[in-house]
Amino acid sequence: MRALVMGVLNVTPDSFSDGGRYFSHDAAVAHGLEMVAEGADIVDVGGESSRPGAEPVAEPEELRRVVPVVEALSPHVRVSVDTAKASVAEAAVGAGATLVNDISASLYEVAAAGGVGWVAMHMRGTPRTMQHDPQYNDVVGEVVTFLEERADRAVAAGVTEVWVDPGIGFGKRAEHSVTLLRHLGRLVASGHPVMVGTSRKSFLGRLTDREDVPLPADERLAGSLATAVWAMANGAGMVRVHDVAPTVHAAMIVGDAGAAGRDAA
């Protein structure tokens, strides 16, 4: 069985790699359906950018961006809502979302009340400040401990589908993100299904810079695929990506390779 592929749908003017491209309702729904045709298992609808330095979006505006798109897509595909606001998560669940993708790792009660799944992501600080010199003594240990504690709270509250996500690039320097990927097995060992989002992120641009100029976001496909494959091969059950078609192919290859290995054993 292959890992699940979550396609990113940013209904925002300012997301770091696709801001403004799917800001109108029609463009957003069309892109969501395009990702479904490409094999996305879940479409993740978000109305507030969480890129470093992003300004918060007011609740009425986030609702206006997200809810109609969730409503239009949920008859066609499983939809998650990418939000840190309880009210937006609740409204999206009412409109058909069955997974709350929560970068604040705090909305498990909304998921419990709605009878839907929940993704707890690790972040240090807020998007506005998170890249101001993040420090860890043991980044892997701190992230795993935090996520296990949040997952336990969610299970106790009655959420039956709990994913944990190390939050690549959220209050992390490039070396922190790489260390988390290298030791993903420690998060997988927590027993909760693991989701990973590396797609087009800036650490990929830094690792592949040319003369100290980071590779731009639209040239990070190879890095996105390499890290998605790494994550899946090391036990991630879901990857969150912008480039759905190539990632689905990669997931099929990784899944098949695993199955072939098992058959041969």
Q: Where on the chain is the footprint of ligand HH2 (CB under 6 A)? A: 8, 10, 12, 15-17, 46, 49-51, 82, 101, 103, 119, 121, 165, 167-168, 195, 197, 240
Which residue in 124, 201, 206, 220 is the catalytic one?
A: 201
Nearest distance, CB of residue 260 and ligand HH2, angstroms: 30
Residue 16 vs 146, nearer CB to ligand HH2: 16
Is 172 an active-site residue? no
Nearest distance, CB of residue 264 and ligand HH2, angstroms: 34
Residue 234 vs 258, nearer CB to ligand HH2: 234
Q: Which amino acid is at 262?
A: R
Nearest distance, CB of residue 259 and ligand HH2, angstroms: 27
Is 201 an active-site residue? yes
Structure tokens given for 237: 């059950």
Nearest distance, CB of residue 17 and ligand HH2, angstroms: 5
Residue 17 vs 247, nearer CB to ligand HH2: 17
Q: Which amino acid is at 121?
A: M
Which residue in 2, 150, 206, 240 is the catalytic one?
A: 240
**What radius of gyration, in Å, describes the C-alpha atoms of the chain?**
17
Vertex 239 angle, CA 235 and 242, to 5°: 160
Whether the CB-CB separation of 39 and 245 falls below 8 Å is answered with: yes
Residue 134 vs 258, nearer CB to ligand HH2: 134
Which residue minimizes CB distance to ligand HH2? Answer: 197
Nearest distance, CB of residue 127 and ligand HH2, angstroms: 7
Whether the CB-CB separation of 192 and 211 falls below 8 Å is answered with: no
Residue 175 vs 256, nearer CB to ligand HH2: 175
The Cα–Cα gap between 5 and 94 comes to 23
Q: Strand, helix or coil at 51?
A: coil
Sheet of 117-121: strand order equals 162-165, 117-121, 99-102, 78-82, 42-46, 4-10, 238-241, 195-196
The Cα–Cα gap between 204 and 139 comes to 19
Which residues form the catalytic set? 201, 240
